[in-house]
Amino acid sequence: MSICKRNVDGSQPLNEVRTMIAHTFQDAFSAQWINTHVPNATHDLMTLRRLIPWQSIIDRLIPFYHAQKGRNGQSLRTMVAISMVAKLRQRSDRQVVEGIKENRYMQYFCNVPDQGLMTFVHPATLCKFRKRLGEKGIAIIEDAVFDRLKHAPAIEVDMMLQDSTVLESPIIYPTDVRLLYKAFDKMAILAKKAPIPTWWDEAEIKTLWRAYHLDKTQPLAYLCAFYLLFEPALETFARHLGDLPKGPLQTKWNDPLETLLSLDEQTQLKLEGHLRIANRLVSLDDLDARPIQKGKRHPKTEFGTFLQLSFNRQGYMITAENFMGKRDDKTLYPNTLERFCQRMEAIPPGAVTDLGYRSPTNLKLSHDTFEVVFMGKSSDVDDDHQEASLKARSATEGFIAVAKNLRGFGRSLYRGLQGAKVWSLLNQCAYNLKKFLQLYHHEALTEETLMKLHL
């Protein structure tokens, strides 16, 4: 077990507490090391290292670990920093670990000493760390950074800009035939683990799959051919699952069976000519992904989760919420407005949205709350506020474009709705830190803010 030192300033005697996770951290670098290896004091990561409230985050994450059970945990200070820099640099788990080994500024930001640098963490540990924290734990990290900026105050309560988009899931473009082909792969995995010989003709499946790719002019014909093979195979799969002895394997595969039964029903509806199918499956790997149309010319349909965003006029991302399937902007507006005011602990003077949020209820709610309300029509505001409102609406599209193309909100690499929420929270934290750096470099922050942030 590790020994946690609660006092690091030396002013009082040290109290030793035996724990499985360190409650505090100490700087791993000497002044000489800093002067030699990271001499640029204005580097972005040097600035953010001083800005982020590391100890506050650690204190709030400790409850996610058992006090005495389990192996010694990795340093929370290091794990949180790696998670942040991965999104700041838009790198995968493996890439960010390699980057820390090669880049001294990343090493300094993550507080990884030279001793053991080559083996300080395995990339898979980052995945386990996110699973341990979940949405609740990652929200603590994002909230701590946001509060630090808000109370500086680097984030101003000037205006609420609201819009929605789609956070795509990490799946290949779905087709009905591909889903049935993938279903055979899922059943084959169970057959291998049981172990049970496969109960369908694999050569016939592969031949049909090749023929489908060579001739895509008759998708319904091939869908029918696959379905005639899939339906009896699914019935046999259900019988084999029922014959398995009660245990982890049977329990683990009950949910996939339900998914395949849903796919069977969905395929029947498709063959019957139904064009709109509720809760349509588009992937057997990401069951929460849904087809969503946002009225764009290209791509007409995106596959993932619905993402509701709000910004202030500076461009900070105030709220980010993920939902499964298409949602009506009109119904999301009141909750997003409430969350915006709660996070900012104040009511902004104005709100700007597009026509998708416009409804008599939302207009009445907004006029009761804000001085200026713009919901897609110039007539919503008087001449004095019209130009500012139109510019704010244009800025919203720019903020979302930056978020999707440069800040990781284009596609989530984590599966499921919970994975999309974790992805959004981590990228929201990185987005706001990047926005702070942008304003900091352009000298757009007040002296009071810089003093409070010790910059």
d(CA 447, CA 452): 9
Closest by CA to 422, choosing from 173, 167, 74, is 167
| Three-state DSSP string of the chain | CEEEECCCCCCCCCCEEEECCCCCCCCCCCHHHHHHHCCCCCCHHHHHHHHCCHHHHHHHHHHHCCCCCCCCCCCHHHHHHHHHHHHHCCCCHHHHHHHHHHCHHHHHHHCCCCCCHHHCCCHHHHHHHHHHHHHHHHHHHHHHHHHHHHCCCCCCCCCEEEEEEEEECCCCCCCHHHHHHHHHHHHHHHHHHCCCCCCCCHHHHHHHHHHHHHCCCCHHHHHHHHHHHHHHHHHHHHHHHHHCCCCHHHHHCHHHHHHHHHHHHHHHHHHCCCCCCCCCCCCCCCCCCEEEECCCCCCCEEEEEEEEEEECCCCCEEEEEEEECCCCHHHHHHHHHHHHHHHHCCCCCEEEECHHHCCHHHHHHHHHHCCEEEECCHHHCCHHHHHHHHHHHHHHHHHHHHHHHHCCCCECCCCHHHHHHHHHHHHHHHHHHHHHHHHHHCCCCCHHHHHHCCC
User: Angle at Cα 22 formed by Cα 21 and Cα 26, nearest 5°?
Assistant: 155
User: Does domain 155-171+289-452 bear CATH number 3.30.420.10?
Assistant: yes
Which two three-digit tokens encode residue 125? 């540990």
pLDDT computed for residue 16 by the predictor: 43
pLDDT computed for residue 283 by the predictor: 94
- Phi-psi map region of 70: left, alpha, beta (phi>0 left; psi -120 to 50 alpha): left
Every domain range in the chain assigned CATH 3.30.420.10? 155-171+289-452
d(CA 109, CA 87): 13
- Block means of pLDDT (10 residues each) for the chain, 455 residues, are 41 48 88 95 95 95 87 90 97 96 96 94 95 96 96 93 95 93 92 87 95 91 95 92 82 89 95 90 94 81 95 96 94 94 93 92 85 89 89 95 95 95 97 97 93 89
Length of the chain: 455
pLDDT computed for residue 267 by the predictor: 95
Closest by CA to 332, choosing from 177, 217, 448, 163, is 163
pLDDT computed for residue 19 by the predictor: 63
CB contact set of 250 (below 8 Å; sequence gap of 6+)? 241, 244
